[in-house]
């Protein structure tokens, strides 16, 4: 494995969760668990996972409903899903695949079979992303697509001017680096345009309003300039 893939397993059977976590970690994956769909969806790091393994029948929200939430959110829609279920009916499988499931395992299943399915799904997903991935700059749910010049904040599209896009992209791509106003003017504004350094402050203020919960990361260093401090 070239890198350590991260997996979130959601199942209301605690014993099964512990078994799956132990075995998948033994295979080299970073594994987190949740005992309900509600607990899983409340996590702030959902977009960071490479794979979701979800039990279909759980108390409260079903695994199908959880998957629908994931697929409806632009920040998590790309994450592959393997469903686990105690029911083997064809209609359930059709429902799962219509929701975008990448695989479906009927309980009881062997750990070797699960491991093989996980490897296959991750390999397919990695191949697809290599072939079709757009170039992006991102931090958590703040995503700038450099190919189609769009910005989303926690899955919601945000309209930005060309200058705002370039300014935000520069800061996010160089997290932790302080840029002076002069540097930002030279890098984010057209070379044949004369603007005052105060213009940078105005654009930073507008960006903070547009990126919502991520505004706190656009930090002013008095006497020096700005940085994306995350």
Domains and CATH numbers, the chain: 6-132 (3.40.50.2300), 136-228 (1.10.10.10)
Summarised one tens digit per residue, pLDDT across range 71-106 is 888 888 889 999 998 876 666 667 777 777 888 888
DSSP type of residue 44:
S
pLDDT at residue 158 greater than cutoff 90: yes
User: Reduced to 3 states, what is the DSSP secondary structure of residue 190?
Assistant: coil
What does the pLDDT read at residue 74? 80
What does the pLDDT read at residue 179? 94
Cα four-point dihedral sign 42, 47, 49, 52: positive
pLDDT at residue 1 greater than cutoff 60: no
Is residue 128 very low, low, confident or very high in pLDDT (cuts 50, 70, 90)? low
What does the pLDDT read at residue 197? 82
Q: Whole-prediction pTM value?
A: 0.56
Distant-in-sequence, close-in-space partners of 225: CB < 8 Å, separation ≥ 6:
178, 179, 180, 181, 183, 184
What does the pLDDT read at residue 132? 46
What does the pLDDT read at residue 20? 96
pLDDT at residue 114 greater than cutoff 70: yes
What does the pLDDT read at residue 86? 80
pLDDT at residue 192 greater than cutoff 70: no
What does the pLDDT read at residue 2? 58
* Averaged pLDDT, 173-182: 92
Number of alpha helices (DSSP H) and beta strands (DSSP E) in the chain: 8, 11
Phi (first) and psi of residue 151, to 5 degrees: -130, 135
What does the pLDDT read at residue 125? 76
Mean pLDDT value across the chain: 87
pLDDT at residue 131 greater than cutoff 60: no
Alpha carbon distance 52, 54 (integer Å): 6
pLDDT at residue 126 greater than cutoff 80: no
* Averaged pLDDT, 39-63: 92
* Averaged pLDDT, 15-20: 94
Summarised one tens digit per residue, pLDDT across range 195-207 is 788 889 999 999 9
Alpha carbon distance 121, 17 (integer Å): 20
pLDDT at residue 159 greater than cutoff 60: yes
């Amino acid at each position: 494995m070239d890198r350590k893939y991260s997996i979130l397993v959601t199942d209301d059977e605690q014993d099964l969760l512990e078994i799956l976590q132990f075995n998948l970690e033994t295979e080299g994956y970073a594994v987190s668990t949740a005992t309900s769909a509600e607990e899983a969806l409340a996590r702030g790091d959902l977009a960071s996972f490479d794979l979701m393994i979800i039990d279909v029948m759980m108390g409260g929200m079903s695994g199908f409903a959880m998957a629908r939430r994931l697929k409806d959110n632009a920040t998590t829609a790309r994450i592959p899903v393997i469903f686990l279920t105690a029911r083997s009916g064809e209609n359930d499988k059709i429902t799962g695949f219509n929701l975008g499931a990448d695989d479906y395992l009927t309980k009881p299943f062997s750990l070797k079979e699960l491991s093989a399915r996980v490897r296959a799904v991750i390999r397919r997903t990695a191949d697809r992303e290599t072939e079709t991935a757009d170039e992006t700059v991102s931090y958590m749910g703040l995503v700038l697509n450099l190919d189609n010049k769009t910005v989303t904040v926690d899955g919601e599209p945000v309209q930005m001017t060309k200058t705002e896009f370039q300014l935000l992209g520069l800061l996010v791509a160089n997290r932790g680096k302080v840029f002076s106003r002069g540097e930002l003017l030279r890098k984010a504004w057209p070379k044949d345009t004369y603007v005052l350094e105060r213009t940078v402050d105005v654009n930073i203020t507008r960006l903070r309003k547009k990126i919502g919960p991520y505004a706190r990361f656009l930090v002013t260093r008095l006497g020096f300039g700005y940085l994306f401090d995350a």
